[in-house]
Amino acid sequence: MKILIAIFLSLSTLFSVDLKVGSENAYKPFAYLDEKNNATGYDNEVVKIVASYIKDAKLDFVSVPWNAIFSGLDSAKFDIIANQIVKTKEREEKYIFSKFPYFYGVSTLITLEDKNITDIKELNNPKIGVTVGSNHAYLLENYLKNNPNFKAQIVYYKTSPTLVADLKNKRLDAIVNDPIAIVDYAKAQNIKVKPSAFVFEKVPVYFVFRKDSKKLANLVDEALEKAIKEGKISELSLKYFGVDQSQ
């Protein structure tokens, strides 16, 4: 009897699908830990929906600092990144991206509420804060490269809360980030910010896998496609943001 139980447990493990997910888990409302230290937020909840479409899926969330999220994937600490990741040429050369996006993010110029900025060029030699290695940083760097007559200093941060705090303390003139996330952080610090009408880009967000995880990527793609078609991702976006930013 003990032998049969052992065989059954071995087979259960063999045919289960491990979804080890890396998230910053310090980026509200997309990926963060709740009061019980459970992974939640829009990106993490999308993963849970996707897992519900995969038979015998086992979910494990791994918290990792933003500046170590890709190295964590490289070293197999986890097999999927779910953390508002967008495509770049360099990333596409190294990783597999999910076939379908699950969110469309916006990179916007954000200032304190008492400012009335409609265009980045209204700022005079500003200090603009971004999170290091983020798509927001990439877009601002490209903008300055393509607009050499506009002078600005980019200040890089490891975390978004520090970014917002320095905006309040006038160490920064503006931030480039997703307004949903920054407004949430600002509320937590009792800071009033104002997203401007100046939008750098609307970009699709994807899951990311190592190149050796093609089977896992295909499995997640199938599940994500079903969830999208059945309206589950749209419903989640409406719940979190009041609008459907999944398409």
| Tens of pLDDT, residues 196-230 | 889 898 889 999 999 999 999 999 999 999 999 99
Instruction: Give the pLDDT of residue 180.
Output: 86
| Domain span including residue 32 | 2-104+205-241
* DSSP per residue, the chain: -HHHHHHHHHHHHHH-EEEEEEE-SEETTTEEE-TTS-EESHHHHHHHHHHHTSTTEEEEEEE--GGGHHHHHHTTS-SEEEEEE---HHHHHHEEEPSS-SEEEEEEEEEETT---SSGGGSSS-EEEEETTSHHHHHHHHHHHH-TTS--EEEEES-HHHHHHHHHTTS-SEEEE-HHHHHHHHHHTT--EEEEEEEEEEEEEEEEEETT-HHHHHHHHHHHHHHHHTTHHHHHHHHHHSS----
Query: Which amino acid would we find at residue 215?
Result: K
Same-domain pairing of 222 and 169: no
Instruction: Please write the tens of the pLDDT for every residue from 88-118.
Output: 999 999 999 999 999 998 899 999 999 888 8
Q: Is the pLDDT of residue 242 over 60?
A: yes
Give CA–CA dist 196/185, Å, rounded. Answer: 17
Same-domain pairing of 66 and 121: no
Same-domain pairing of 24 and 134: no
pTM recorded for the entire structure: 0.73
Instruction: Give the pLDDT of residue 83.
Output: 95
Let me know if residue 228 belongs to a domain: yes
Instruction: Give the pLDDT of residue 17.
Output: 80
Same-domain pairing of 157 and 191: yes
Q: Is the pLDDT of residue 11 over 60?
A: no
Instruction: Give the pLDDT of residue 160.
Output: 87
Instruction: Please write the tens of the pLDDT for every residue from 134-159.
Output: 889 999 999 999 999 999 999 999 98
Cβ count near 150 (within 10 Å) = 13
Q: What residue has token string 């999208």?
A: 228
- Is 79 exposed, middle or buried (CB count within 10 Å of its CB: 0-12, 13-18, 19+)? buried
Instruction: Please write the tens of the pLDDT for every residue from 166-194.
Output: 999 999 999 999 888 888 889 889 999 99
Let me know if residue 246 belongs to a domain: no
Number of domains in the chain: 2
Same-domain pairing of 99 and 209: yes
Instruction: Give the pLDDT of residue 243.
Output: 77
Instruction: Give the pLDDT of residue 197.
Output: 85
Same-domain pairing of 209 and 198: no
Let me know if residue 247 belongs to a domain: no
Q: Is the pLDDT of residue 72 over 60?
A: yes
Q: What residue has token string 């600002």?
A: 186
Let me know if residue 185 belongs to a domain: yes
Mean pLDDT of the chain: 91
Same-domain pairing of 87 and 166: no
The mean-pLDDT minimum among 19-28, 31-40, 57-66, 237-246 falls in: 237-246
List the CATH number of the domain containing 67: 3.40.190.10
